[in-house]
Amino acid sequence: MNAVTVSIRNYVQDVVAGWNRFWFTAVDPATLSAVRICAGLMLFYTHLVWSLDLEAFFGPEGWLPRKMLVDVHSEYVWSYFWLIDSPGMLWAAHIGALVVFALLTIGFMSRIMSVLAHAIAVSYVHRVMPGAFFGLDKINCMLALYLMLGPSGACYSVDRWLARRKAGGRSSGSTLKGDPLPAPQPSVGANVAIRMIQLHMCVIYLFSGLNKLQGVYWWDGSATWWAIANLEYQSLDMTWLVLWPKLTALMTHITVFWELFYIVLVWHRGWRPIVLLSAVAVHGGIAIALGMITFGLVMLIGNMAFLSPQFVRAVVGRAKS
């Protein structure tokens, strides 16, 4: 066997080993559990607000009549709202959905609730699509989907509390002598779920950045100014930035660079804190200045997938103390 063949074989073995480490290394489920809490809260809140005019949005003869949506969709789109034909049934289904989201948030029967939460979120989206379907709804459904893949209720949950009570334990992460319930075990499922969220976030940012490259305002540096000057979205008056055109141009170009290279830089341990802090700045700015609070927050929830379990446990530990 010549040297070239050996080198190729070793390279393939290294690639396969790296692939297996990336996907199938068992990890602490603390990060996934933290994502569950935040995503559950967002699902609960964003569906609760539909209650303000539920029948107009989701009733058979509301603003988007069921027959019209069936005609619009080129192929069958599933939603249990197609089976609802009375206000009473609609409100019962809506209240049931809110209960499921609340139970997912607190981590009660987490595996079952994660499956139900995804089916419910998709049903709501399909019922109002295309009239009221935005980025927030897409990220909600994405997070709900991946929560099904791992033990999202392994930490910080009612499931954990009930298991501890049944075993007679004292604390959720305790490994003290005499505690019959040890800390949650590392899980391959938790790693797969987190990896899927991470990769999905990378794809979202990459294509968002590529799409911006098609707009002239992103090239000439004026996109940030036009965004904050748009009164339709303005929730905080930032028009004083008109006096600082170089600053708004810099913010514009940094945003494009950050989105394009997020997929590369976020995996590097040295760059990751900078990338995630940039996410806080970008999405925090969107939430505060442009009025899209829920969208800004849900994107930050997606970014939480890059937080290490050790960091999550340290933060939770400080919050408890």
Whole-angstrom CA distances from 263 to 48, 116, 232, 303, 306 are 33, 31, 31, 12, 12
pLDDT per residue as tens digits for the range 64-110: 777 777 776 655 678 888 888 889 999 999 999 999 999 999 999 99
Surface-to-core class of residue 225, CB atoms within 10 Å of its CB (0-12 exposed, 13-18 middle, 19+ buried): buried
Please list, in sequence order, all residues whose beta carbon lies within 8 angstroms of the beta carbon of residue 286, skipping any fewer than 6 positions away: 292, 295, 296
pLDDT band at 168 (very low <50, low <70, confident <90, very high): confident
pLDDT per residue as tens digits for the range 106-117: 999 999 999 999
Cα-to-chain-centroid distance, residue 5: 44
Which residue matches tokens 């967002």?
42
- Collapsed DSSP state (helix, strand, coil) of residue 235: coil
Cα-to-chain-centroid distance, residue 124: 17
Residue 178 above 50 pLDDT?
Answer: no
Q: Is the pTM here over 0.85, yes or no?
A: yes
Whole-angstrom CA distances from 176 to 171, 208, 213, 228, 320 are 9, 48, 55, 54, 18
